[in-house]
């Protein structure tokens, strides 16, 4: 008889040791739960790669490190959906026919999660989706390229999480070349590189000739002929609730001319932002606030900007 067994016999009132099942991951590390059909793996990878490149952490069942499997995995899925703030449903024909995706969406609906259907192919959903998704903001239903739909999806998530948007990450030359290889094949890319190299060589010769001529002339450029650099324009405006005159305080505002520079509206919903632009130039403004749908729209400078946000459907 071991010492521990003997100790238990003389102290039966002490609590016995128990084994606790550890969760897959601390749920606080995730911002988004992505529900999808496993047949759409490539599409889903493009989505979570883009979102995570801009600072949002995603949980994806098709990713090996997120999905350890096991007999109690379905219970763990329900716990994760209830704990993670945002539920993105990737709507495809495969997802429309998936019982697992329908079950996950119902769990999100019952837990009153922020459900964002991403519908890049504009399919018509059926079954329980008709009930659970009524009135939701269908991000993918808007016009634009797939990249623009991803950008709108990101801004919707950042607005709900009350995070300041981060600029779109710039691709390295190596990444661009790798992407082009996958899309067009080696032969087409080789031809494109030869054309670029030939153009660069011609430009180098022309540039050298022009530089030599300028040195020979050695004449300074007349002051009157020098181009005048444009000063910054001060853009002012207001963010208000749709069909209301009162502004929305603490809303975030940014633009395509000021990537990474986000400002917060004042108590009356007004804002001012400096941009490097010319009068008459078009500017794309982005705005969002807690409890409102994200919006982006074009304006012509230097007119005052009025942006109306629609309240999120509950």
Of 160, 176, 210, the position where a domain reaches its end is 160
pTM over 0.85: no
Q: Residue 243: which CATH number?
A: 2.60.40.1120
Task: Report yes or no on 133 lying in a domain.
Answer: yes
Task: Report yes or no on 211 lying in a domain.
Answer: no
Based on the fold, state whether residues 248 and 154 are members of the same structural domain. Answer: no
Grouping H, G, I as helix, E, B as strand and the rest as coil, residue 168 is coil
Instruction: Determine the pLDDT at residue 86.
Output: 94
Q: Domain residues for 246?
A: 233-309
Based on the fold, state whether residues 31 and 156 are members of the same structural domain. Answer: yes
Task: Report yes or no on 166 lying in a domain.
Answer: no
Based on the fold, state whether residues 124 and 43 are members of the same structural domain. Answer: yes
| Count of domains forming the chain | 2
Based on the fold, state whether residues 152 and 238 are members of the same structural domain. Answer: no
Place of tokens 């009524």: 134
Instruction: Determine the pLDDT at residue 19.
Output: 38
Task: Report yes or no on 22 lying in a domain.
Answer: no
Q: For residues 146 and 47, is the Cβ–Cβ distance under 8 A?
A: no
- How does pLDDT run across 201-250, given as a tens digit for each residue? 898 888 888 887 777 666 555 544 444 445 678 888 988 988 888 899 99
Of 139, 160, 181, the position where a domain reaches its end is 160
Based on the fold, state whether residues 126 and 243 are members of the same structural domain. Answer: no
- C-alpha distances out from residue 95 to 88, 100, 144, Å: 12, 9, 22
Instruction: Determine the pLDDT at residue 308.
Output: 86
Of 145, 160, 175, the position where a domain reaches its end is 160
Based on the fold, state whether residues 151 and 45 are members of the same structural domain. Answer: yes
Task: Report yes or no on 261 lying in a domain.
Answer: yes
Residue 35 DSSP one-character state: E
Give mean pLDDT in consecutive 10-residue pieces for the chain, a chain of 314 residues: 53 47 56 94 94 94 72 82 94 90 92 90 75 65 81 90 68 57 66 87 85 68 47 83 87 83 88 84 87 86 84 73
- How does pLDDT run across 40-65, given as a tens digit for each residue? 999 999 999 999 999 999 999 888 77
Based on the fold, state whether residues 32 and 133 are members of the same structural domain. Answer: yes
Task: Report yes or no on 185 lying in a domain.
Answer: no
User: What is the C-alpha R_g of the chain?
Assistant: 28
Q: For residues 115 and 109, is the Cβ–Cβ distance under 8 A?
A: yes
Based on the fold, state whether residues 50 and 152 are members of the same structural domain. Answer: yes
Task: Report yes or no on 198 lying in a domain.
Answer: no
Q: For residues 155 and 284, is the Cβ–Cβ distance under 8 A?
A: no
Based on the fold, state whether residues 146 and 39 are members of the same structural domain. Answer: yes
């Amino acid at each position: 008889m071991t010492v521990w067994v003997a100790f238990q016999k003389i102290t039966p009132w002490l609590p016995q040791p128990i084994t606790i099942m550890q969760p897959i991951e601390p749920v606080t590390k995730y911002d988004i739960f992505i529900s999808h059909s496993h047949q759409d793996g490539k599409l889903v990878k493009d989505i979570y790669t883009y979102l995570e490149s801009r600072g949002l952490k995603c949980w994806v069942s098709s990713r090996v490190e997120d999905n350890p499997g096991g007999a109690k995995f379905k219970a763990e899925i329900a716990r994760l959906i209830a704990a993670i703030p945002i539920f993105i449903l990737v709507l495809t024909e495969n997802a429309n026919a998936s019982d697992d995706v329908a079950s996950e969406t119902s769990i999100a609906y019952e837990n009153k999660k922020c459900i964002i259907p991403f519908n890049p192919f504009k399919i018509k959903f059926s079954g329980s989706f008709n009930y659970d998704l009524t009135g939701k903001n269908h991000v993918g239903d808007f016009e634009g390229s797939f990249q623009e739909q991803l950008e709108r999806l990101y801004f919707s998530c950042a607005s709900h999480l009350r995070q300041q948007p981060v600029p779109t990450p710039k691709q390295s030359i190596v990444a661009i070349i790798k992407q082009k290889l996958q899309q067009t094949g080696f032969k087409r890319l080789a031809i494109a590189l030869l054309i670029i190299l030939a153009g660069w060589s011609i430009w180098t010769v022309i540039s050298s000739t022009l530089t030599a001529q300028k040195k020979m002339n050695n004449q300074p450029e007349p002051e009157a002929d020098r181009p005048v650099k444009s000063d910054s324009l001060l853009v002012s405006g207001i963010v208000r609730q749709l069909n209301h005159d009162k502004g929305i305080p603490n809303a975030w505002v940014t633009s395509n001319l000021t990537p990474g520079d986000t400002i917060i509206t004042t108590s009356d919903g007004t804002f001012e932002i400096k941009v490097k632009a010319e009068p008459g130039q078009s500017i794309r403004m982005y705005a969002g606030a807690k409890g409102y749908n994200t919006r982006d729209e074009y304006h012509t400078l230097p007119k005052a900007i009025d942006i109306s946000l629609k309240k999120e459907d509950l």
